[in-house]
Amino acid sequence: AKSKRPATWSTGATSSAVISAVSSPTMLVDTLTRCISPISPSRCFKSPEKQRAPSQQRKQMPKLLLVAFEGFELLDAFGPLELLLLAGYSVTIAAPTNGVVRGGVVGSEACKSEAAKLEVRSCVPVVASHSLVEALSQKWDLLLVPGGQGTRALVGDEPFLATLALLCDASAAVASVCTGSALLAAAGVLDGRKATTNKRGWAWVTESSKRAATVEWTPRARWVADRTGGKLCATSSGVAAGLDMAVWLASDLLGAGVGEAAAKRAEYVPSTDPADDPFAALVK
């Protein structure tokens, strides 16, 4: 039985012609050259696509900078980050020095940091890719400052506060969660603005620095958005309240419904009323 002709062979070539050519390498090459049908380049290569106009190119992802430090509260940082990543932000983590910083939950067990003069439970090491000074070389769309036990040491750290103030200047919008507002206040970022903070830590935050006295603290608020001078500075109540603020931030900064869509993907039901604060009663 005759073998089937390969699909790439010319219809003018016969199997016997190819077989007889095997006896001579030179003839084989010549025979293959004549027997293989030429293929149009258009069948093998796609024509290059036209370069998209700048208006059609994909927009660059907005940039978020998280300010981390020894003893930051885990949920303060990673709760909002989860939602803001889903909303479309790219995230960079910076700390006083690049490398490992430890976040945790306020408590008295395990993991002690003499440098930060704190004790936190369930320490989790987090890698900061940039130092705060290195982060100054870029502009940021959103700066996020978490709270945590570590704020107690940093609220009086003048070099840290000076760098934080410069980072806030380099950011289009600024936000804090929980006692992170104490750091913004001490850095002068909240001068003359409305703000809120953790209700259990209310007394400490509102008296934590001389500049805290210049802030218009709002005791009944899940989060507060202040646009004094045309720049958004948002502060949330304690820990999980940062999630609600993050949903609102995403929709406010990236477009209506963006935050709600991110929350839906995370299967989170946010509080949408900033005045609905069931923990306000804790303020004394």
Report the predicted TM-score, pTM, of the whole model to 2 decimal places: 0.77
Tell me the residue length of the chain: 284
Q: How far apart are CA 28 and CA 24, in angstroms?
A: 6
Lowest average pLDDT, out of 36-45, 65-74, 196-205, goes to: 36-45
pLDDT at 137: 97
pLDDT at 250: 98
Helices (H), the chain: 15-21, 25-35, 41-44, 74-87, 132-135, 151-154, 158-169, 180-186, 202-206, 241-254, 258-265
Beta bridge partners of 100: 127
pLDDT at 16: 43
Cβ-contact 193, 217 below 8 angstroms: no
Q: How far apart are CA 81 and CA 98, in angstroms?
A: 19
Q: Which residue did the predictor score with more confidence, 116 or 63?
A: 63
Residue that has been written with the tokens 């946010």 in this structure: 270
Using a 10 angstrom Cβ sphere, with 0-12 exposed, 13-18 middle and 19 or more buried, the burial of residue 262 is: buried
Lowest average pLDDT, out of 10-19, 59-68, 117-126, 132-141, goes to: 10-19
Q: Which of 35, 123, 168, 178 does the annotation list as catalytic?
A: 178
pLDDT at residue 92 tops 50: yes
**% of the chain residues with pLDDT over 90:** 71
Beta bridge partners of 113: 118
Cβ-contact 223, 200 below 8 angstroms: no
Active site residue 168: no
pLDDT at 10: 39
Which residue in 232, 66, 52, 49 sits closest to 146, CA to CA? 66
pLDDT at residue 102 tops 60: yes
Beta bridge partners of 131: 95
pLDDT at 284: 79
Cβ-contact 226, 194 below 8 angstroms: yes
